[in-house]
Amino acid sequence: MLWTTLGFFVLTAVMIRLHLRDAGATRSSAPAAKPTQPCPRCQAPAAIGSAFCPGCGVPLQTFEVVQARVATGPAPVGGVPKAAVRADMCVGCGTCVAACPEAGAIALVGKLATVNDALCRGHGECVRACPVGAISVTTGQAVNRVRVPLVNANFETNVPGLYIVGELGGRGLIKNAINEGKLAVEHVAAVLSGAEPPDSAEPYVDVAVVGSGPAGLSAGLEAMRRGLSCVVIEQGSLSDTVRKYPRHKLLLAEPVQIPLYGDLWIADASKETLLQVWETIVANTGLPVRTGERVDSVVRDGAFLRVQSAIGSQLARKVVLAVGRRGTPRRLGVSGEELDKVFYDIVEMEAFAGQRVLVVGGGDSAIESVLGLANQPGTTVTLSYRGAAFDRVKPRNQEKLARAIEAGKVTSLLGSTVREIRSDVALLDLNGETTILPNDFVVIRIGGEAPYAMLERLGVRIVEKELSTGAKAG
């Protein structure tokens, strides 16, 4: 009996040992767990490459620019020359793609010129072809560089209480803008919930939002949802950013959550559809929006920030800037300038393919717009400038413009002034005579005040960030 019992225990021990060994072998042969990184918002571990955070559910693409490395200087020397694109300057005209001798080395990905490291040979043809000077050849890994205000994962700048969301933060995607506005105000609400309301003899709001595009309206609606007093201040009309989109169709490939509204999912819809949605939301929620009020400055005023405009000032505990990165453009001041056909900058050159476009201006920005438009298939481009010569333009742009005029891609009207813009034509004063120019769109590039000047006066740090392209583009 004793030997039987001992034999049983020995056999059991052997079986357990074999089982553990087999289990260990199975574990060692199992695929390794994917590397993770903490979510910038909630710190939950998220697999690298994941679309959403498993903890808070926020789309991780929202933090792409926030997490990007700050450029500290030129790329390291000694590497293989590669093309590098500045994402904040690229207008998606595609000129570089046509000029590159290496098929697939540079391509338009999401309306942005993107370099494929594995195929790029650093020829530099794209540099010479780019009409806006957005490409250079450098060593090391090819990157997209974008000049942006420095913000943290809550979209707060180095100036306490000042948040920046939307296009000014580096990317103009509608989906990102909506998420950023919501997340910024979530942080505002968390900060103010435990803070004692400051004393003030002057009325104030918890949150002042500057700009009524997707980011600004999302921020304002989130403030209302959380019981914060707020106001949205817009220099143009409601959602002027969307109203001035040149593209006829917008695409939101996945739904985004709009505070006080729910899921917004517009697939292959017109900008008018999106505008109608915004206007309905504002009307139904009672979100206070002040239009036609241009903000000139934001300054510290004790425990508050003071938003100053030509109409007056607004005291606020926190300020969310949701303005475009192109700032306030200078206007012609002529009849018809308010029409939907008039633009002050171009986000997507391809939207004007096959159209008749009048560009107004004589500086580098006007010439660069002309050159990019002239590269679009079927586009007829006319350049109107009141001066007798383009003497304020870089030599490189002068040479490119001269070649485009000689090739018949551009018509130049020196000594001309726009007097009136109509739905299908523009009236110009050319050498003392009225000229009627048929056109579909008018692009006005006569300067303006960039928002970075206001930010720098306030003390916001502006940096260049590197968005690595890797070798995935193609």
Task: Note whether 289 and 220 are within 8 A (CB).
Answer: yes
Output 76 or 441, whichever has higher pLDDT: 441
pLDDT tens figures, 411-444: 999 999 999 999 999 999 998 899 999 999 999 9
Tell me the pLDDT tens digit for each residue of 13-37. Answer: 555 555 555 555 444 455 556 788 8
Question: Residue 396: phi, psi to the nearest 5?
Answer: -60, -45
pLDDT value at residue 327: 64
User: Coil, strand, or helix at residue 313?
Assistant: strand
The CATH architecture that domain 330-449 belongs to is: 3-Layer(bba) Sandwich (3.50)
pLDDT mean across residues, the chain: 81
Sequence spans of domains, the chain = 56-148, 162-327+451-458, 330-449
Q: How many CB atoms lie within 10 A of CB 227?
A: 9
Cα–Cα distance, 397 to 412 (Å, whole number):
14
SS3 158: coil
- What is the per-residue pLDDT for 472? 35
Torsional sign, CA 367, 372, 374, 380:
negative
Cα 132 to chain centroid, rounded: 17
Read off φ and ψ for residue 471, nearest 5 degrees.
-120, 30
Backbone phi, psi, residue 211, to 5°: 110, 135
Q: Please check whether the two domains, 162-327+451-458 and 330-449, share a CATH topology.
A: yes
pLDDT-based confidence at 126, cuts 50/70/90? confident
Q: How far apart are CA 353 and CA 375, in angstroms?
A: 9
What's the mean pLDDT in 358-381?
91
Indicate the range of 75-84, 207-216, 429-438 predicted with least confidence.
75-84
C-alpha atoms less than 13 angstroms from C-alpha of 250 in its C-beta half-sphere: 21
Does the pLDDT value for residue 267 go beyond 60? no
Q: Which CATH class is domain 56-148?
A: alpha beta
Overall fold of domain 162-327+451-458: FAD/NAD(P)-binding domain (3.50.50)
Q: How far apart are CA 251 and CA 274, in angstroms?
A: 10
User: Which of 25-34, 118-127, 295-304, 400-409 has the least mean pLDDT?
Assistant: 25-34
What end-to-end distance do the CA atoms of the chain give, in Å? 76
* pTM of structure: 0.68
Q: Are 245 and 224 in contact (CB under 8 A)?
A: no
Cα 276 to Cα 211, 238, 242, 280: the distances in Å are 18, 11, 11, 6
